[in-house]
Structure 1
Amino acid sequence: MPSSFHVHDHNVHLKWDNAIPPVLTVDSGSEVSFDLLDGGHNQFTPASTSADVPNFNLALGDPAMGPVYINGAEAGDVLKVEFLALQTAAYGWTAILPGSFGFGILADEFPEPALKIWDLESHAAEGYAVFKEGIHIPLRPFLGVVGLAHEAAGQFSTIPPYETGGNIDCKHITVGSTLYLPVKVKGALFSCGDGHAAQGDGEVCGTAIETPMKATVRLSVEKGKPWVKSPHYVTDPLHSQTVGGQRGEYAALGIDADMREATRKAVRGLVEWLVGEKSLTREEAYMLASVAGDLKLAEVVDMPHYAVACSLPLSVFVGEQYQ
C-alpha cells in the first residue's frame, strides 16, 4: 500500500518559487492529504458581511499549501495527480470584489461590494446548497490551485494559471479525476489550495463558492509523455454522466494572456495527445478535435492569463486498439 502523508494549512506560500524548501518528501505513488485555507486565506467567516469586503487583502489571495517533493521526478517528466477525496467546510462564500480589486469579467459594471455566505452543511447529503429559496446549486468540490514549481528562478504570483498549473480553476477536475502536469524542476514541488464547492466555467464574477477544504491526492511520476506541455486532465465517471459520455473526457488546458492563443494551445495540446497516445496522424487528430471536441472557458478572470480547455469524450474510442 502507498504511504500516507499530511500537509497542514500553516505550510502555506503565496508565490510559486522553486527555492521554497519542501515540507514533505514522498515516493511516487504516495497519497498525501492536505488541510487547505480557502482562496481568500480564510479572511471571510460565517459572520462576515458585505461591509467586510473592502477590507479584503488581495495580497493574501490564492494561498497554496506545500510544496511536496516527489522522489524520481525530473524536468521533462509528468506528475499524475489523482483526486481521491475533497471535503468542504460547513460554510463557503462568494464575493463581488469591486474597484481596485479588478476581479470579475464585468468588474466595471458592478462597483459595489457584495458577499454571500453559503450553508454547505444542511443539504450536503442531498448534494446541493441553497442560493436562495427555489434555487439549488449542485455541490461539486474541486481545487482551484493545483500546480508545480516553475523552471525559472524567482517568485511568481499564485493568482493566475500557468502551463505548470497553478490557479487553473477548472471545475471539471473533481474527485475521481486525474490531472497531468509538466514537471520543470527536480522533485516537481507540488502544491495545492483554493477549495471550491461549486463554480461555473469561467468563474465570471471572480469568485466561486470559496471554502476551506480537506483534500487527499495520489502523486505519481510518469515518464515519456512529451505531449503534456500544460495541464491535461481526464474526468471521473460521475462527471461523465453529463459531460463526455459514459467514459468521461480527456482535455488539454491552454494558458496564455491572449484568449485566442490560449485556445490555440488547448487545441494543439489535444492534437498532440491524440498523436502521442492514440497514434493518429496530426491531420486526423485535428479533424477529430473539430468534429467531436469541445472548447470551454475554464478561467477568464485571473489576469493576466486565460485558461481554455479543449476536451474530447473518450466514448468516441470504441476499438480495442484505442483502449
Structure 2
Amino acid sequence: MSIHAVKRSQCHLAWDNSIAPVLRVKSGEIVTFDCLDASNGQITPDSTVDAIKSLVFSQLDQVNGPVFVEGAAPGDTLQIDVLRVAPAPWGWTACIPGFGLLTDEFPEPALKIWELDTENMVTYFDKEKTIRIPLRPFAGEMGVAPGKEGAFSTIPPYATGGNIDTKHLSAGATLFLPVEVEGALFSIGDGHAVQGDGEVCGTAIETPMTVSVRLTVRKDRPYIKTPHFTTPKVNIQDEEYYCTTGVDADMREATRAAVRNMIDFLCAEHALDRVAAYMLCSVAADLRLHEVVDMPNYVVGMMIPRSILGASTPSESKL
C-alpha cells in the first residue's frame, strides 16, 4: 500500500470543488500532511501582540489538499481514520477583535506564545501558578468539497466538515463525511495542541502539525449527511471538575454567562487577569448542555478540570 504526502505549500483558502487536487489516492491509502498553523505563518514563536493587530484575515485558516480519493462519488461517505497528530514545540492563543464568544467584552488584541513539551505532551499556562495542561493534538479543519459551485470560506463549519474544531478528533478517532463531488476532495489543517469544547475565545493552542490519516470510501452509510465520528478511549482518570453555569431563555446568552462566570471564578480564586482567564477557558474548559427541556430557560455549563489548576486558594480548598 502506498503512503502519500502533502507538502506545507500545497494548501488553499476556500472550500471550492473547482480547485484541482494536489494528489490522487486509492481508497484505504494513508496520506501525511505537513500543515502550518491557522495564521498561515503570520504568527511565529517570536511574535508580539503586534502580529494580531496586523493579521491579514484573508490568509487565515488555510487547509492542505485537496486529495482526490478514487471511487468516491456523490452520496458516498468518506471515512477518515486519524492515525497520528504531531504538534510543533510551540503554539499560540490569541484574542482577535471580532472573534470569540465574548468578543464584545474583550475588544483588545492579546497574544500568548506557548512552549509545548511534545515529549511529555504537556504545557504550562503559568508555571508559578502550576497551571499544567496535558496536550491532546488534533486538526480543527477536516472537510471535503461542497457540491455547490463557488468558493466558501474555511472559517465556518459545514455539513461537509470544514472548521468543526472538535477536540475528540485526536489520534485514534474516525471521522465520517458526506461526499458531494467525485473524488471527495479532502483537505485538512488548523492544528490544535489542545482545546476545550467550544473554543470560546476563538483560538485554541494553535500550532503547526504533521498529521497522518487513512482515507476510505464507504458505500454503506447513506444516512450520513453531516459529520459523524467515533472517539478514541476517553480517559478522565477520576477527574474532578469545577463547573459554572449560565441560565437564560436564549441558549447563546446562557452560554456566554457560563463562560463569564468561569472567568470570574478563575480571577477570584486563581489570581488570573480576565484576558488570561478567557484564554484558559478556550484551551482547557468544556461547554456542556445541562438542561434543555424545562422552558423557558436553558442551563449551560462550563467545566474545568481541577487537576490543571494546581494549588487551590484557601476558599476553593474548602470545596
Report if aligned partners of 2:42, 2:51 keep a CA contact under 8 Å in 1: no
Q: Give the superposition deviation at 1:296.
A: 5.2
RMSD between aligned alpha carbons? 1.7
Distance (whole Å) between structure 2 residues aligned to residue 236 and residue 296 of structure 1: 20
Structure 1 residues 241-288: Cα deviation after superposition (integer angstroms, max 9, x where no partner): 239xxxxxxxxxxxxxx989xxxxxxxxxxxxxxxxxxxxxxxxxxxx
Matched, 1:58 2:57: yes
- Among 186, 190, 204, the alignment partner of 1:194 is 190
Instruction: Specify the alignment match of 1:231 in structure 2.
Output: 227
**Structure 1: which amino acid aligns with 2:45?**
P
> Cα 1:259–1:74, aligned 2, differ >3 Å: closer, same or farther?
farther
Distance (whole Å) between structure 2 residues aligned to residue 159 and residue 296 of structure 1: 23
Structure 1 residues 279-308: Cα deviation after superposition (integer angstroms, max 9, x where no partner): xxxxxxxxxxxxxxxx958xxxxxxxxxxx
**Structure 2: which amino acid aligns with 1:193?**
G
> Cα 1:200–1:150, aligned 2, differ >3 Å: closer, same or farther?
same
Larger radius of gyration: 2
Q: Where in structure 2 are the equivalents of 1:71-86 lying within 5 Å?
A: 71-86=70-85
Distance (whole Å) between structure 2 residues aligned to residue 135 and residue 241 of structure 1: 20
Q: What secondary structure sits across from 1:125 in the alignment?
A: coil
Instruction: Specify the alignment match of 1:157 in structure 2.
Output: 153
Q: Give the superposition deviation at 1:108.
A: 0.7
Q: Give the superposition deviation at 1:125.
A: 2.6
Structure 1 residue runs of 4 or more that deviate by more than 6 Å after TM superposition? none
Instruction: Specify the alignment match of 1:255 in structure 2.
Output: none
Q: What secondary structure sits across from 1:52 in the alignment?
A: helix
Matched, 1:125 2:119: yes
Distance (whole Å) between structure 1 residues aligned to residue 288 and residue 58 of structure 2: 29
Instruction: Specify the alignment match of 2:86 in structure 1.
Output: 87
Q: What secondary structure sits across from 1:92 in the alignment?
A: strand
Instruction: Specify the alignment match of 2:31 in structure 1.
Output: 32
| TM-score computed with the length of structure 2 as normaliser | 0.73
Structure 1 residues 137-190: Cα deviation after superposition (integer angstroms, max 9, x where no partner): 110000000000000111000000000000000001100000000000010000
Q: What secondary structure sits across from 1:195 in the alignment?
A: strand
Distance (whole Å) between structure 2 residues aligned to residue 219 and residue 52 of structure 1: 36
Distance (whole Å) between structure 2 residues aligned to residue 88 and residue 179 of structure 1: 20
**Structure 1: which amino acid aligns with 2:214?**
R
Instruction: Specify the alignment match of 1:265 in structure 2.
Output: none
5+ residue gaps, structure 2, are 238-249, 253-286, 290-319
**Structure 2: which amino acid aligns with 1:241?**
N
Instruction: Specify the alignment match of 1:219 in structure 2.
Output: 215
Q: What secondary structure sits across from 2:53 in the alignment?
A: helix
5+ residue gaps, structure 1, are 244-257, 261-294, 298-323
Instruction: Specify the alignment match of 1:283 in structure 2.
Output: none
**Structure 2: which amino acid aligns with 1:56?**
L
Q: Give the superposition deviation at 1:3.
A: 1.2
Instruction: Specify the alignment match of 2:202 in structure 1.
Output: 206
Alignment size in residue pairs: 241
Q: What secondary structure sits across from 1:220 in the alignment?
A: strand
**Structure 2: which amino acid aligns with 1:74?**
A
Distance (whole Å) between structure 2 residues aligned to residue 296 and residue 231 of structure 1: 19
Q: Give the superposition deviation at 1:52.
A: 2.1
Q: What secondary structure sits across from 1:126 in the alignment?
A: coil
Structure 1 residues 215-237: Cα deviation after superposition (integer angstroms, max 9, x where no partner): 10000000121221100000012
Distance (whole Å) between structure 2 residues aligned to residue 152 and residue 53 of structure 1: 33
Q: Give the superposition deviation at 1:64.
A: 0.6
> Cα 1:296–1:155, aligned 2, differ >3 Å: closer, same or farther?
farther
**Structure 1: which amino acid aligns with 2:120?**
E
Q: Give the superposition deviation at 1:126.
A: 2.5
Distance (whole Å) between structure 1 residues aligned to residue 251 and residue 150 of structure 2: 26
Distance (whole Å) between structure 2 residues aligned to residue 22 and residue 88 of structure 1: 25
Instruction: Specify the alignment match of 1:7 in structure 2.
Output: 6
**Structure 1: which amino acid aligns with 2:4?**
F
Distance (whole Å) between structure 2 residues aligned to residue 296 and residue 176 of structure 1: 23
Q: Where in structure 2 are the equivalents of 1:285-296 lying within 5 Å?
A: none
Instruction: Specify the alignment match of 2:265 in structure 1.
Output: none
- Among 102, 109, 116, the alignment partner of 2:112 is 116
Instruction: Specify the alignment match of 1:276 in structure 2.
Output: none
Q: Where in structure 2 are the equivalents of 1:165-314 lying within 5 Å?
A: 165-237=161-233, 240-242=234-236
**Structure 1: which amino acid aligns with 2:208?**
P
Distance (whole Å) between structure 1 residues aligned to residue 51 and residue 219 of structure 2: 48
Report if aligned partners of 2:15, 2:145 keep a CA contact under 8 Å in 1: yes
Percent identical across equivalent pairs? 54
**Structure 2: which amino acid aligns with 1:183?**
V
